């Protein structure tokens, strides 16, 4: 009760504080004010044929007639209560632009603001405008702006996402699937004030897709991020217990006579690169000037065609190193390349059947996407470079995603992918549905694939079924996944096949009052996995998992997660068919010989997963994740004592200087004799200096140091060998000491118009972390220039 009274008092003070500063703007007509707490969630937006200078001042008379959104609510960590801070959002539009003004009042703590690079404002205070011009409440354009006007933009969806990391299951709030890789052209300015900060934003209609009708309603939501407290606040009273977030958006009405002319964007680019590598007669350099172009044609407001020829992706930052816990399967890396991220939400599919990073370096590609009433369609075709071929052909990709909106928040869809590599091919087709009712969600997909390799053809099914409840205090997840033996998705990311898996999870959430703990989520569940054929033949379970994840949010923005996990593993014999045990001569064996390797019997493991995230301090933000305990290593199928630590921190040393530091440590020690099996040390440093909003200098350095012992049989400790081309070769210790440094000067006045100049080098060091006697492996210099022509 005391806490509730204190929150009410604070809210009244914030409102009074806001009213005091609102004298800079004339009073709004009551018909133009829409209070989210009062459930005034349908806002009539006026069309005003005027203009405004985007300077962060909100000084023009036109703002007096704008619609005003007020009455924000708390969303995270606690919902269904008035926001701690007062926020005002002004909206009006013309036939070509939509204008937003924001006044964010802050009386409880400091405002965090830096002159950040694009999409790097997550450590600052900022506002997100979530605009859904199709009003289907399933995806939204994201326009984020920090107090100094720095931008972050992308697309948010309430549908399928990337693979879930080990130890994480599902939460008490809808997942925030936000892809910040797409960039839109919009204008924003911000300034710090005595009461907090103020923003002015202009979003051109040319930058977004919208309906082709004359009269339109748009779904709309505002998210405010307050970093000193770790709170998130929304205009409409969004409930964390709902199965969807965008479905709880408000509505903007009164939009009419929007200009729907054709928009053509031509983006020619020129790149000159000089790359060097060692050769038999010394260091050799190769010059490779290249010309390419990108085309974006918005045929009508709801249909867009993209095309590219010889695209250059040099501006994309290299992937950070990852150390796989289960070395049998590939690692997932997000798509960052500009051509593929534009409209990428249209290709979102269950089981990641579409994963455009399978296209290595397209020679040419085209894609078309559109929304026709309640149906969305996306088609991508690409001819890849020979480097992506298993032979000497140009692989050809065709990716199709069709989705139909049904009911209020549900969908049915179809996915088809086709990859042809010479005489070989892989084709996958799948149908899916997602039904959402309140806090309940039902997902189902069913499909199959056909693959031809070296004249041999195989087919296999893929499917899943799940039922989820995402209540505020209680949640549950039940599911079954099936992928047949031999299934392959050459155009997707399906790292594992040949299994049947059942999962069952229960979640309970607690929200203590008058305590340092703001929320405590406990998720307990189990998973059981069989071989695909073994399940139908009545064989025993191959892998089991039991875990209890605890996620605790502390007052002030701290996040602590502890997850004990018990698993058991049976290693598939076919995965080790190329292994041989090299037995030395002894008294009973006069000569050395080789015998087949037998993987270890069922192996139980016990690990503890931990994670700590600090609040967003004005100077830094940090995160630490750990995996500790008895685990398996899949090279020898033995048990090991595992210690994994991943730590990273964002340092904001000034408004213009930002450092991102990370350190990855992984150590496996054989339990049978205490010897070290493997160790990895990977420090990484990124320094960004923002000279101005469009101009920055970036340095990225990474030291990848890994060692792995020669493989030994866990039963006999004899050496292991691997069969290659009919010859058994004894396993030897593996060492990696790779250093990668990259410099980049970037000038990006608008997305598409860029000047990049960079240098990158890979080096090798004989003795780890001695920082001497470096040997260059390769290096290169590049300059890229592109210009966006828009009509």
> Cα–Cα distance between 24 and 15 in angstroms, integer?
15
Asked if pLDDT for residue 106 goes beyond 90, the answer is yes
**Looking at residue 556, what is its pLDDT?**
82
- CATH 2.60.40.1190 segments of the chain: 2-160+173-256
Asked if pLDDT for residue 745 goes beyond 90, the answer is yes
Q: Please write the tens of the pLDDT for every residue from 437-482.
A: 888 999 999 999 999 998 899 999 999 999 999 888 899 999 999 9
**pLDDT classification of 192: cutoffs 50, 70, 90:** very high
**pLDDT classification of 22: cutoffs 50, 70, 90:** very low
Q: With b meaning 16 or more CB within 10 Å and e meaning fewer, what string describes 724-748? A: eeeeeeebeeeeebbbbbbbbebeb
Q: Concatenated DSSP letters for 513-543?
A: SSSSEEEEEEEEEEEEEE-HHHHHTTPPPSE
Asked if pLDDT for residue 21 goes beyond 50, the answer is no
**Looking at residue 230, what is its pLDDT?**
84
**pLDDT classification of 320: cutoffs 50, 70, 90:** low
> Cα–Cα distance between 36 and 291 in angstroms, integer?
51
User: Average pLDDT, stretch 157-169?
Assistant: 54
Residues 6+ apart with CB under 8 A from 398: 379, 380, 381, 416, 417, 418, 419
Q: Please write the tens of the pLDDT for every residue from 613-627.
A: 998 888 889 999 999
Length of the chain in residues, anyone? 791
**Looking at residue 277, what is its pLDDT?**
84
**Encoding tokens for residue 80?**
């269904």
Query: Can you give 350-361 as a three-state secondary structure string?
Result: HHHCCCHHHCCC
Asked if pLDDT for residue 696 goes beyond 70, the answer is yes
Show contacts of 675-680: CB within 8 Å, 24+ apart: 675/709, 676/707, 676/709, 677/633, 677/635, 677/636, 677/638, 677/640, 677/708, 677/709, 678/633, 678/706, 678/707, 678/708, 678/709, 679/706, 679/707, 680/323, 680/704, 680/705, 680/706, 680/707
Asked if pLDDT for residue 6 goes beyond 50, the answer is no
More confident residue, 312 or 780: 780
**pLDDT classification of 11: cutoffs 50, 70, 90:** very low
Asked if pLDDT for residue 164 goes beyond 70, the answer is no
**pLDDT classification of 262: cutoffs 50, 70, 90:** confident
More confident residue, 635 or 76: 635
Q: Please write the tens of the pLDDT for every residue from 717-727.
A: 999 999 988 89
**Looking at residue 23, what is its pLDDT?**
40
More confident residue, 675 or 346: 675
**Looking at residue 220, what is its pLDDT?**
97
User: Average pLDDT, stretch 65-89?
Assistant: 93
Strands 250-256 and 42-44: parallel
Q: Which of 129-143, 281-295, 537-551 has the lowest mean pLDDT?
A: 281-295
**Looking at residue 770, what is its pLDDT?**
83
Q: Which of 440-444, 511-515, 767-771 has the lowest mean pLDDT?
A: 511-515
Range picked from 19-28, 157-166, 673-682 for highest mean pLDDT: 673-682
**pLDDT classification of 10: cutoffs 50, 70, 90:** very low
**Looking at residue 162, what is its pLDDT?**
45
**Looking at residue 159, what is its pLDDT?**
63
Asked if pLDDT for residue 535 goes beyond 90, the answer is yes
The CATH number given to 2-160+173-256 is 2.60.40.1190
Q: Please write the tens of the pLDDT for every residue from 114-148.
A: 888 888 898 899 999 999 999 989 889 999 999 99
Residue 649, strand partner residues: 622, 661
Name the DSSP class of 310: S
**Looking at residue 311, what is its pLDDT?**
84
More confident residue, 54 or 752: 54
**Looking at residue 324, what is its pLDDT?**
59
**Looking at residue 316, what is its pLDDT?**
58
Q: Which of 162-176, 486-500, 662-676, 729-743 has the lowest mean pLDDT?
A: 162-176
Contact 494, 352 (CB under 8 A): yes
Q: Which of 157-161, 542-546, 732-736, 757-761 has the lowest mean pLDDT?
A: 157-161
More confident residue, 790 or 158: 790
**Looking at residue 170, what is its pLDDT?**
43
**Looking at residue 288, what is its pLDDT?**
81
> Cα–Cα distance between 170 and 523 in angstroms, integer?
8
| Mean pLDDT computed over every residue of the chain | 88
| CA-only gyration radius of the chain, Å | 28
Question: How many CA within 13 A on the CB side of residue 654?
Answer: 7
Q: Which of 20-24, 592-596, 785-789 has the lowest mean pLDDT?
A: 20-24
Asked if pLDDT for residue 542 goes beyond 90, the answer is yes
Q: Which of 95-99, 235-239, 242-246 has the lowest mean pLDDT?
A: 242-246
Asked if pLDDT for residue 16 goes beyond 80, the answer is no
> Cα–Cα distance between 239 and 78 in angstroms, integer?
9
Helices (H) and strands (E) in the chain, counts: 3, 45
User: Average pLDDT, stretch 57-70?
Assistant: 95
Asked if pLDDT for residue 25 goes beyond 60, the answer is no
User: Average pLDDT, stretch 244-253?
Assistant: 93
Asked if pLDDT for residue 517 goes beyond 60, the answer is yes
**pLDDT classification of 13: cutoffs 50, 70, 90:** very low
């Amino acid at each position: 009760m005391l806490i509730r009274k204190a929150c009410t008092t604070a809210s009244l003070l914030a409102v009074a504080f806001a009213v005091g500063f609102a004298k800079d703007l004339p009073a709004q007509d009551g018909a133009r004010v829409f209070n989210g707490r009062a459930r005034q969630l349908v806002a009539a937006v006026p069309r005003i044929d005027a203009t405004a200078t985007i300077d962060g001042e909100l000084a023009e008379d036109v703002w007096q007639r704008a619609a005003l959104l007020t009455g924000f609510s708390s969303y995270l960590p606690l919902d269904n209560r008035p926001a701690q801070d007062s926020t005002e959002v002004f909206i009006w539009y013309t036939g070509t632009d939509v204008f937003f003004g924001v006044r964010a009042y802050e009386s409880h703590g400091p405002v965090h603001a830096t002159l950040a690079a694009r999409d790097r404002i997550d450590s600052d205070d900022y506002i997100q405008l979530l605009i859904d011009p199709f009003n289907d409440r399933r995806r939204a354009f994201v326009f984020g702006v920090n107090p100094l006007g720095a931008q972050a933009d992308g697309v948010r969806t309430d549908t399928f996402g990337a693979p879930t990391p080990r130890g994480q299951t599902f939460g008490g709030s809808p997942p925030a699937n936000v892809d910040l890789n797409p960039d839109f052209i919009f204008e924003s300015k911000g300034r710090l004030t005595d009461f907090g900060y103020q923003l002015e934003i202009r979003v051109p209609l040319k930058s977004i897709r919208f309906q082709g009708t004359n009269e339109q309603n748009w779904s709309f939501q505002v998210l405010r991020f307050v970093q000193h407290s770790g709170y998130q606040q929304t205009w409409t009273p969004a409930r964390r217990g709902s199965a969807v977030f965008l479905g709880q958006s408000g509505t903007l009405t009164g939009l009419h006579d929007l200009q729907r002319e054709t928009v053509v964007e031509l983006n020619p680019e020129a790149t000159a690169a000089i790359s060097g590598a060692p050769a038999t007669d010394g260091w050799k350099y190769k010059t490779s000037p290249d010309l390419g172009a990108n085309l974006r044609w918005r045929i009508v407001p709801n249909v867009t065609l993209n095309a590219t020829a010889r695209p250059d992706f040099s501006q994309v930052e290299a992937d950070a190193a990852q150390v796989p816990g289960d070395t049998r399967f590939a690692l997932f890396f997000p798509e960052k390349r500009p051509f593929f991220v534009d409209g990428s939400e249209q290709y979102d599919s269950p089981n990641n059947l579409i994963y455009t990073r399978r296209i290595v370096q397209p020679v040419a590609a085209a894609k078309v996407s559109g929304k026709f009433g309640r149906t969305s369609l996306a088609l991508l075709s690409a001819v890849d470079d020979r480097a992506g071929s298993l032979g000497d052909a140009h692989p050809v990709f065709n990716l199709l995603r069709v989705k139909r909106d049904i009911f209020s928040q549900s969908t049915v869809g179809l996915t088809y992918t086709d990859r042809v590599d010479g005489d070989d091919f892989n084709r996958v087709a799948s149908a899916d549905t997602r039904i959402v009712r309140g806090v309940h969600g039902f997902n189902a997909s069913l499909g199959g694939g056909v693959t031809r390799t070296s004249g041999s053809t195989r087919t296999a099914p893929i499917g899943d079924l799940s039922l989820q409840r995402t209540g505020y205090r209680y949640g549950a997840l039940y599911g079954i996944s099936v992928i047949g033996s031999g299934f392959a998705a050459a155009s997707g990311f399906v790292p594992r096949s040949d299994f049947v898996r059942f999962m069952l999870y229960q979640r309970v959430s607690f929200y203590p009052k008058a305590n340092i703990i703001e929320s405590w989520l406990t998720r307990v569940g189990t998973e059981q996995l069989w071989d695909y054929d073994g399940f139908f033949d009545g064989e025993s379970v191959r892998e089991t998992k039991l875990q209890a994840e605890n996620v605790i949010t502390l007052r002030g923005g701290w996040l602590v997660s502890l997850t004990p996990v018990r698993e058991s593993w049976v290693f598939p014999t076919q995965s080790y068919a190329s292994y041989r045990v090299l037995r030395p001569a002894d008294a009973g064996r006069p000569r050395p010989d080789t015998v087949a390797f037998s993987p270890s019997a069922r192996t139980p493991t016990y690990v503890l997963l931990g994670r700590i995230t600090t609040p967003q301090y004005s100077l830094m933000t940090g995160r630490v994740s750990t995996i500790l305990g008895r685990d398996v290593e899949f090279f020898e199928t033995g048990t090991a004592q595992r210690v994994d630590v991943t730590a990273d921190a964002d340092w904001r040393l000034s408004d213009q200087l930002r450092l991102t530091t990370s350190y990855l440590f992984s150590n496996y020690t054989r339990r049978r004799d205490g010897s070290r099996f493997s160790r990895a040390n990977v420090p990484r440093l990124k320094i960004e200096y923002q000279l101005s909003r469009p101009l920055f200098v970036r340095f990225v350095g990474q030291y990848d140091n890994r060692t792995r012992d020669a493989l030994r049989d866990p039963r006999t400790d004899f050496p292991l060998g691997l069969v290659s081309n009919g010859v058994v070769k004894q396993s030897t210790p593996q060492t990696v000491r790779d250093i990668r440094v990259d410099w980049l000067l970037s000038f990006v006045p608008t997305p598409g118009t860029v000047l990049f100049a960079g240098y990158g080098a890979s080096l090798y060091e004989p003795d780890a972390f001695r920082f001497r006697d470096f040997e260059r492996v390769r290096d290169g210099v590049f300059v890229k220039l592109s210009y966006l022509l828009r009509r």
